[in-house]
Structure 1
Amino acid sequence: MTAFSRWIPSSRPAQFILAAGALLVIAAVVVLAARGLTTYAPIQDFLQTYPGSYALPDFAPVGIPTWIGWQHFFSAFLMVLIIRSGWQVRTERRPAAFWASRWAKGTPRKISLTLWFHQSLDILWLVNGVIFVVLLFVTAQWVRIVPTSWSVFPNAISALLQYLTLQWPTEDGWVNYNSLQQLSYFITVFVAAPLAVVTGVRMSAIWPKNAKRLSAAYPIEVARAIHFPVMLYFVFFIVVHVALVFATGALRNLNHMYGGSDEVNWWGFAIFFVSLAVMVGVWFAARPVILAPIASLFGNVSSR
Structure 2
Amino acid sequence: MVTAGDAGPRGRAPEPKRYGRFTRAQWISAALLGAGALVVAAAVVVLIARSVIGLEPVRDFVATYPGEYALPAAAPIGIPAWLGWQHFFNTFLLVLILRSGWTARYGKRPPVLWSSRRVKRRKMSLTVWFHLALDALWIVNGVVYVVLLFATGQWVKIVPTSWEVVPNAVSAGLQYLSLDWPTGNGWVNYNALQQLSYFAIVFLAAPLAIVTGARISVYWPRKADRLNRLLPFDASKRVHVAVMVFFVAFIVVHVGLVLATGALRNLNHMYAAQDTVSWTGFWIFAASLLVIAAAWVAARPARLIPLARVFGDVVQR
Q: What's the TM-score once normalised by structure 1's chain length?
A: 0.94
CA–CA separation in structure 1 for the residues paired with 2:147 and 2:207:
15
Question: Do the aligned partners of 1:68 and 1:257 also contact (CA within 8 Å) in 2?
Answer: yes
State the 1:21 CA deviation.
Answer: 2.6
Q: For each residue in 1:104-129, what CA deviation from the matched residue of structure 2 results, as whole angstroms up to 9, or x when unmatched?
A: 2xx53000000000000000000000
1:298 matched to 2:311? The reply is: yes
Equivalent residue letter for 1:225? R
Identify the range of structure 1 (273-282 vs 207-216) with the bigger mean alpha-carbon deviation: 207-216
CA–CA separation in structure 1 for the residues paired with 2:281 and 2:57:
41
The structure 2 residue matched to 1:191, chosen from 197, 201, 204, is 204
The structure 1 residue matched to 2:236, chosen from 223, 241, 261, is 223
Seen in structure 2, the aligned counterparts of structure 1 residues 211 and 139 have a Cα distance that, compared at 3 Å, is same
Equivalent residue letter for 1:190? F
Seen in structure 2, the aligned counterparts of structure 1 residues 198 and 16 have a Cα distance that, compared at 3 Å, is closer
1:29 matched to 2:36? The reply is: no
Question: Do the aligned partners of 1:102 and 1:108 also contact (CA within 8 Å) in 2?
Answer: no
* Residue matched to 1:62: 77
* Residue matched to 2:111: 96
CA–CA separation in structure 2 for the residues paired with 1:183 and 1:269:
26
State the 1:216 CA deviation.
Answer: 3.3
1:297 match: secondary structure = helix
1:230 match: secondary structure = helix
- Count the aligned residue pairs: 299
Seen in structure 2, the aligned counterparts of structure 1 residues 13 and 126 have a Cα distance that, compared at 3 Å, is closer
* Residue matched to 2:265: 252
RMSD: 1.8
Q: For each residue in 1:128-154, what CA deviation from the matched residue of structure 2 results, as whole angstroms up to 9, or x when unmatched?
A: 000000100000000000000001011
1:114-193 alignment runs, 5 A limit? 114-193=127-206
1:301 match: secondary structure = strand
Seen in structure 2, the aligned counterparts of structure 1 residues 43 and 199 have a Cα distance that, compared at 3 Å, is same
* Residue matched to 1:72: 87
CA–CA separation in structure 1 for the residues paired with 2:34 and 2:115:
44
CA–CA separation in structure 2 for the residues paired with 1:226 and 1:16:
24
* Residue matched to 1:201: 214
State the 1:14 CA deviation.
Answer: 5.4
CA–CA separation in structure 2 for the residues paired with 1:216 and 1:44:
50
Question: Do the aligned partners of 1:71 and 1:128 also contact (CA within 8 Å) in 2?
Answer: yes
State the 1:225 CA deviation.
Answer: 1.9
State the 1:16 CA deviation.
Answer: 4.2
The structure 1 segments of at least 4 consecutive aligned residues displaced by more than 4 Å after TM superposition are 10-16
Q: What's the TM-score once normalised by structure 2's chain length?
A: 0.90
Equivalent residue letter for 2:96? L
State the 1:11 CA deviation.
Answer: 6.8
* Residue matched to 2:20: none
Residue ranges of structure 1 left out of the alignment (5+ in a row): none
2:311 match: secondary structure = coil
The structure 2 residue matched to 1:44, chosen from 42, 59, 79, is 59
State the 1:220 CA deviation.
Answer: 1.4
Q: For each residue in 1:79-124, what CA deviation from the matched residue of structure 2 results, as whole angstroms up to 9, or x when unmatched?
A: 00000000001112310200000022xx530000000000000000
Residue ranges of structure 2 left out of the alignment (5+ in a row): 3-11, 17-24
Equivalent residue letter for 1:281? A
